[in-house]
Chain A
Amino acid sequence: MLSPDEAADLIEAIAARQDKAAFATLFRHYAPRVKAFLMRGGSDAETAQEVAQEALIMVWRKAASFDRGKAAASTWIYTIARNKRIDLARRTNRPAIDTEDWLTVFAPEAEDADKSVLAGQTYRRVEELLGSLSADQLLVIRKAFFEDKTHTAIAEELGLPLGTVKSRIRLALGRLREALEKDEP
C-alpha cells in the first residue's frame, strides 16, 4: 500500500529528476486499480489496460503540474484516468472535452487554493464516509463514477423517480461535505 504522502513524494520525484524507479512504484500501485475501476464500468480487459497505461504515461508527462497542496495523488490520478477514458470514447465516435480542459478545472486558481478540500489526507475521510453511506446512496454514487452515467440515466436504469435519485445524491454529497469539513481550520 502507498500512503497519500508516499504517492505525492513519488510524483514529485518524477517531476524533479524523471525518476523511473518512482514511476514503477506508482505504476504498480495505480495501474491495476485504474484497470479494475474501468472494468467495473463495463470496459473489457484489453481496453481497460490500454487506458490504464495511457493514464499512467500522462501522469509521467504532467508530473510537474501536480501540486500536493491542491490535490491528493489519488484524486489527480483519478481525474487523468477519467479523461483518458473519455478520450478513448472519443475515438469510438463519442467526442469529448480536451484533457487539458479537465485538468484546468481540477486545478483551481491560486486565490482559492487555501480553501481546497482536495489537499492532504482528506481521502482517508472520504474512505470512512464511503463505509457509512446507505446501500441506496452508494449504488447511485458508484454508478455515476464507475459507469459514467448521468443521474437521469441512472434513474431510468433503476426504474426510480428522478426525484428519488436526486435526493440520494444530495444526501450523499451532504455527508461528503460534512466529512471533509470537520476539524478543518
Chain B
Amino acid sequence: MSQPAPEELLLDYAAGALDPAPSLALSLHVALDPEARRTVERLGALGGALLEQEPDEALDDAFLADTLSRLDGLAVEPPARPFVPRPGFEWAPAALARHIPAGAQWRSVLGGFEEIRLNVPGRHYRTSLLRLAPGHALPEHRHVGEEFTVCLQGGYSDATGRYGVGDLAIGPGTDRHEPVADHGEPCIALIVVERPVVLTGPIGRFFNPLVRRGII
C-alpha cells in the first residue's frame, strides 16, 4: 500500500529547503508516487502565485540591456530528450541515474547485502543503493539521526509495515528495525542516512566499529 510522504516534508522539498541527499530521496518518491507528485505540483503552483504577487516594479534599463547582450550567441536549447534507462539500472529514474557513476558495480557487504555508494554533495548524510536478496534481512540496526528510504524494485517489510516501489520510509520510526526483502525479485532501495548508524543485534554490534569508519 503506497503512502505519500507527509505534506510538511513535501513542502520542505518543493520550496528547496532540504539538503541534497534527502532532496534526492524525495525526488525519487515524487517521481514514482502519483499522489506525492500532485502535491508537489500544487506546491509549485503556490510558489508561482507567490512570485506573481510581487509588486510590479520599474526595471533598470541597463539591467535589461546587459541581460540581452548576454543572450547573443546563446542558443535556445532543443527540448530535453526522453530519458532512456541505463542498462542494468532500469529501476533508476532519471534523477537517480545521473548520480550513479559510470561503471558502478554492486559490492558485497558483510551482513549479506550489496551496496553501491553514491557521491551526493553534502557531508551530513550517507547515500547508498542497497540490494537485498529475496527473503533476506538487513542486520537489525538503529538510527540516531534521520533516515529516508525509497524502494525502487521489489519490496520489503519491517516492524512499521510493508513497502513497495515508490514508497518512502522515514526514520527513526521505531527504535530498531530489521527490514526483510519480499520473495520474488531482489529488493533495491535508495537509503539516505544521517550519520552515524548504530547496529544493535548480537551480530550487528560486532560491525559497529566498521560503521563508524564508514566501511559499511
Residues of A within 8 A of B (CB): 1, 14-15, 18, 20, 23-24, 27-34, 36-37, 49, 53, 56-57, 60-65, 71-79, 81-83, 85-86, 90, 95-98, 100-106, 108, 112, 115-118, 122-123, 126-127, 129-130, 141-142, 144-146, 148-151, 153, 165-166, 169-170, 173, 176-177, 180
B185 at the interface (CB under 8 A from A): no
Within the complex, which residue of B15, B50, B59, B121 is in contact with A27, where a contact is CB–CB below 8 Å?
Answer: B59
| CB interface residues, B 60-114, toward A, < 8 Å | 63-64, 66-68, 70-71, 74-80, 83, 94-95, 98
Residues of A within 8 A of B202 (CB): none
A102 to B98, CA, bound (A): 12
A-B pairs, top 4 by smallest CB distance, nearest first, are: A95-B121, A74-B48, A75-B48, A126-B49
Whole-angstrom distance between the Cβ of B196 and the nearest chain A Cβ: 20
- Given the interface pairs A37-B50, A64-B76, the reply to whether A105 lies near B31 with Cβ below 8 Å is yes
- A148 B17 Cβ-Cβ under 8 A: yes
- A78 B27 Cβ-Cβ under 8 A: no
Residues of A within 8 A of B42 (CB): 117, 173, 176-177, 180
- A33 B77 Cβ-Cβ under 8 A: no
Within the complex, which residue of A53, A85, A149 is in contact with B63, where a contact is CB–CB below 8 Å?
Answer: A53
A17 to B93, CA, bound (A): 32
- A57 B71 Cβ-Cβ under 8 A: yes
Residues of B within 8 A of A23 (CB): 68, 71
B158 at the interface (CB under 8 A from A): no
* Residue of B whose beta carbon sits closest to that of A141: B46
Within the complex, which residue of A57, A61, A72, A127 is in contact with B67, where a contact is CB–CB below 8 Å?
Answer: A57
Within the complex, which residue of A20, A34, A65, A127 is in contact with B80, where a contact is CB–CB below 8 Å?
Answer: A65
Interface range on chain B (Cβ under 8 Å from partner): 35 or more
- A130 B63 Cβ-Cβ under 8 A: no
15 further A-B contacts with Cβ under 8 Å, apart from A18-B75, A33-B51, A170-B8, are A15-B76, A33-B55, A34-B51, A63-B76, A82-B16, A82-B47, A104-B83, A105-B31, A105-B40, A118-B44, A118-B45, A126-B48, A148-B17, A169-B7, A176-B46
A63 to B6, CA, bound (A): 33
Residues of A within 8 A of B67 (CB): 27, 31, 53, 56-57
B162 at the interface (CB under 8 A from A): no
Residues of B within 8 A of A81 (CB): 51
Inter-chain CB contacts under 8 Å: number: 209
Whole-angstrom distance between the Cβ of A157 and the nearest chain B Cβ: 13
Whole-angstrom distance between the Cβ of A87 and the nearest chain B Cβ: 10
19 A–B contacts from the bound complex (CB under 8 Å) = A1-B56, A18-B76, A23-B68, A27-B67, A30-B51, A32-B57, A63-B76, A75-B44, A79-B44, A85-B16, A101-B24, A103-B80, A104-B27, A148-B15, A149-B15, A153-B17, A170-B8, A176-B45, A180-B42
A115 to B17, CA, bound (A): 26
Residues of A within 8 A of B122 (CB): 95
B52 at the interface (CB under 8 A from A): yes
Whole-angstrom distance between the Cβ of B83 and the nearest chain A Cβ: 8
Whole-angstrom distance between the Cβ of B74 and the nearest chain A Cβ: 7
